[in-house]
């Protein structure tokens, strides 16, 4: 394929051309970290994807072509019910990178830096750095801008300045060729890579840089924590046009529930304003806020989302194959996850910006040599590259758990897997505590034999006790008003008036929309604006809200108890 030959040629050129001016080349790193073999623990490769819901073969999706991610899953512990703490990039990333929830980072938008506005909290990469690791950031790890101090939290979190692909600045340019032959800033944007500014795309550059850094770390023999953040399938859905061939439009269906549910509180609806502002969507002149996109265009969006996922899968395949090539697969933990999901027409919604599963549920898997798979012999290939255009067949996860888990638990979980001391649990008030976590390590869920699926609930015959002990995930989302507004999706802190606190168990999703005061960050649970309750067994897509038909004292007590602790 033209795309694959291009990027392989790019890698070859890259190996001959790279000489960094920010301390990234081998000679500078060698001097900086003394060329000593200090790897008495596992390395970490932490892969974060933007806006990826679990549309992957290893999660049971029958349409998607994701052979490389599925291959990683076949050697990993895979969590089927993992949830983000807020379905927005900056709050979610700051939350799981600090191990604190949004109410503790006090970040619900993009416009504050937690070290200044909340507390000087240590981050996961900072903790690894302080424990002897070289910490490296490639692509979108922290959300860039104010929320990471315009530096991706360097130098606190990273040993050297983070790398951002130069092509990133063109993401929202008019690079999408329309039917009229002109260039537009479209939502649906398959492209000829050779025609793009710089002749490449950001994720291709990030893969190149990450592979380069793996080879540097192999040479200097230092244990490392390498975080690699991929942009796609974040909008615009801009990806190499070849990937459309994997998904003929006639094979693409609409969402199973492409309507706005009758009992959905208006405060819960997100009007997908960023989608409306794209040239191709704007031309459709869809009414605000509940107007539906034409069916054929809905299919095109879903087609392009899937194509972007397969483009991402190629990047993952090349990166993991390079881990093999560097001889690092036998002593490197690989974590794969996303900052949140993305609605593909469910509930008449697009994008994220909600508390539904489609917006909060994420893929989460851990490859741990000798733990999730048998010890790997030196030089053995664990992750041979698989071409999604020719590969046939799927992979079964090595281990799979249906336990409900949260991204805020990543920090303590990775610390435990790497053999570091697990940060202590945060006290009730932790704004002045530098190192603690509001998540809990989930390593104890790894003890499942091959092919076995861990159940979501413990065996228990006492209803009250079971409810109090079963795993729960908490998410939240702010709104400026009870009805959809132009800023409902991304309200600034000063405009937040309502906070939707949502609790997900294996059986239920319970959400309360309550009065919120942005001046003192307080939620008033005596002032409930609306509620949602969905029963997973009968309503897995969360279409039939039974909040007003059911007693929900248990849920209220559980939610309130969590917020107080």
Q: What is the 3-state secondary structure (H, E, C) of 372-438?
A: CECCCCCCCCCCCCCCCCCCCCCCCCCEEEEEEEEHHHHHHHHHHHCCCCCCCECCCCCCCCCCCEC
**The token pair that represents 92 in the structure block:** 């979610």
In this prediction the pTM is: 0.93
- Report d(CA 92, CA 127) in Å as an integer: 19
pLDDT band at 470; cut points 50, 70, 90: confident
Specify the CATH number for the domain of residue 377: 3.40.720.10
The percentage of the chain sitting over the pLDDT mark of 90, rounded to a whole number, equals 82
Q: What is the DSSP string of 194-229?
A: GGSGGGS-HHHHHHHHHHHHHHHHHHHT--EEEEEE
| pLDDT tens string 76-121 | 999 999 999 999 999 999 999 999 999 999 999 999 999 999 999 9
Confidence of residue 375 (pLDDT cuts 50, 70, 90): confident
In a domain, 51, yes or no: yes
Number of structural domains (the chain) is: 1
100 C-beta neighbours (distance < 10 Å), count: 29
Asked, for residue 528, whether it belongs to a domain, the answer is no
In a domain? residue 503: no
The answer to whether residue 466 is domain-embedded is no
Q: Would you state the pLDDT for residue 30?
A: 55
Q: How sure is the predictor about 61, in pLDDT bands with cuts at 50, 70 and 90? A: very high
Cα-only R_g, the chain: 23
- Examine residue 498 and state whether it is found in any structural domain, yes or no: no
CB 340 within 8 A of CB 84: yes
Q: Which residue has better confidence, 451 or 136?
A: 136
Averaged pLDDT for residues 360-382: 89
Q: Locate tokens 């508390």: which residue?
A: 355
Q: Is the pLDDT of residue 464 over 50?
A: no
Residues in the chain: 565
User: What pLDDT was estimated at residue 558?
Assistant: 85
Q: How far is CA 254 from CA 234, 259, 276, 340, 453, in A?
A: 20, 11, 19, 21, 30
Q: Compute φ and ψ for 521, nearest 5 degrees.
A: 55, 40
Is residue 484 in some structural domain? no
pLDDT on residue 557: 86
DSSP symbol at 1: -
| C-alpha atoms less than 13 angstroms from C-alpha of 305 in its C-beta half-sphere | 26
Active site residues: 89, 143
Reported as a pLDDT band with limits 50, 70 and 90, residue 533 is very high
454 sits in the region (left: phi over 0; alpha: psi -120 to 50; else beta) called beta
Q: With 70 as the cut, is the pLDDT of residue 159 above it? A: yes
Residue pLDDT, tens place only, 257-298: 999 999 999 999 999 999 999 999 999 999 999 999 999 999
Please give the structure tokens belonging to residue 135: 């910490």
Pairing verdict, β 350-351 and 343-344: antiparallel
Q: What are phi and psi of 238, to 5 degrees?
A: -105, 120
CB-CB neighbours of 137 under 10 Å: 27
pLDDT over 60 (residue 196): yes
Give me the chain's average pLDDT, please: 90
Nearest one of 81, 90, 277 to 185, comparing CA atoms: 277
Residue given tokens 């019910």 in the structure block: 81
Question: Percentage helix, strand, coil, to 5, in the chain?
Answer: 35, 20, 45
Residue 338, in any domain of the structure: yes
Q: Which domain holds residue 422?
A: 40-448
Task: Establish if 559 belongs to a structural domain.
Answer: no
Q: What is the mean pLDDT of residues 408-435?
A: 96
Contacts of 480 (CB under 8 A, 6+ apart): 487, 488, 491, 495, 496, 497, 498
Q: Over range 159-180, report the average pLDDT.
A: 95
């Amino acid at each position: 394929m033209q795309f694959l030959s291009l990027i392989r040629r790019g890698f070859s050129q890259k190996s001959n051309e790279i000489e960094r001016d920010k301390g990234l080349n081998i000679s500078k790193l060698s001097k900086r970290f003394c060329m000593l073999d200090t790897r008495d623990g596992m390395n970490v490769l932490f892969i974060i994807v933007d806006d990826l819901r679990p549309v992957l073969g290893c999660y049971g999706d029958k349409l998607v072509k994701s052979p490389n991610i599925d291959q990683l899953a076949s050697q990993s512990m895979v969590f089927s019910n993992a949830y983000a703490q807020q379905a927005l990039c900056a709050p979610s990333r700051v939350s799981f990178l600090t191990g604190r929830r949004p109410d503790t980072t006090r970040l619900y938008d993009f416009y504050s830096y937690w070290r200044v506005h909340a507390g000087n909290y240590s981050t996961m990469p900072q903790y690894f750095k302080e424990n002897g690791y070289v910490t490296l950031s490639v692509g979108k790890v922290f959300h860039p801008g104010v929320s990471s101090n315009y530096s991706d939290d360097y130098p606190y979190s990273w040993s050297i300045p983070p790398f951002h692909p130069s092509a990133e600045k063109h993401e929202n340019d008019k690079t999408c060729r329309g039917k009229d032959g002109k260039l537009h800033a479209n939502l649906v944007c398959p492209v000829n890579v050779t025609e793009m500014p710089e002749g490449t795309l950001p994720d291709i550059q990030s893969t190149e840089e990450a592979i380069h850094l793996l080879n540097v770390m192999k040479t200097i023999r230092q244990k490392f924590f390498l975080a690699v953040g991929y942009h796609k399938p974040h909008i615009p859905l801009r990806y190499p046009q070849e990937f459309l061939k994997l998904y003929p439009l006639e094979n693409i269906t609409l969402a199973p529930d492409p309507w706005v549910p009758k009992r959905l509180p208006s405060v819960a609806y997100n009007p997908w304003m960023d989608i409306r502002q794209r040239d191709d969507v704007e031309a459709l002149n869809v009414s605000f806020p509940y107007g539906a996109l034409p069916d054929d265009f809905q299919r095109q969006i879903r087609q392009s989302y899937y194509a972007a996922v397969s483009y991402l899968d190629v990047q993952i395949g090349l990166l993991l194959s390079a881990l093999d090539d560097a001889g690092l697969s036998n002593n490197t933990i690989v974590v794969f996850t996303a900052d949140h999901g993305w609605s593909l027409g469910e509930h008449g919604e697009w994008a994220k910006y909600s508390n539904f599963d489609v917006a909060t549920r994420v893929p989460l898997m851990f490859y741990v040599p000798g733990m999730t798979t048998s010890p790997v012999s030196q030089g053995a290939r664990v992750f041979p590259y698989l071409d999604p255009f020719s590969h046939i067949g799927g992979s079964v996860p090595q281990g799979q758990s249906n336990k409900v888990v949260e991204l805020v638990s990543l920090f303590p979980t990775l610390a435990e897997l790497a053999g570091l001391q697990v940060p202590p649990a945060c006290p009730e008030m932790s704004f002045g505590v530098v190192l603690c976590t509001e998540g809990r390590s989930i390593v104890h869920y790894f003890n499942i034999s091959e092919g076995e699926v861990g159940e979501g609930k413990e065996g228990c015959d006492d209803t009250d006790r079971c409810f109090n002990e079963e795993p729960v995930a908490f998410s939240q989302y702010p709104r400026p008003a009870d009805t959809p507004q132009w800023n409902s999706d991304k309200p600034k802190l000063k405009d937040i008036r309502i906070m939707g606190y949502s609790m997900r168990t294996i059986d239920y999703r319970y959400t309360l929309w309550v009065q919120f005061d942005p001046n003192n960050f307080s939620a008033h649970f005596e002032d409930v604006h609306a509620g949602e309750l969905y029963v997973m067994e009968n309503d897995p897509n969360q279409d039939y809200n039974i909040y007003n038909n059911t007693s929900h004292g248990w849920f209220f007590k559980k939610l309130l108890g969590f917020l107080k602790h």
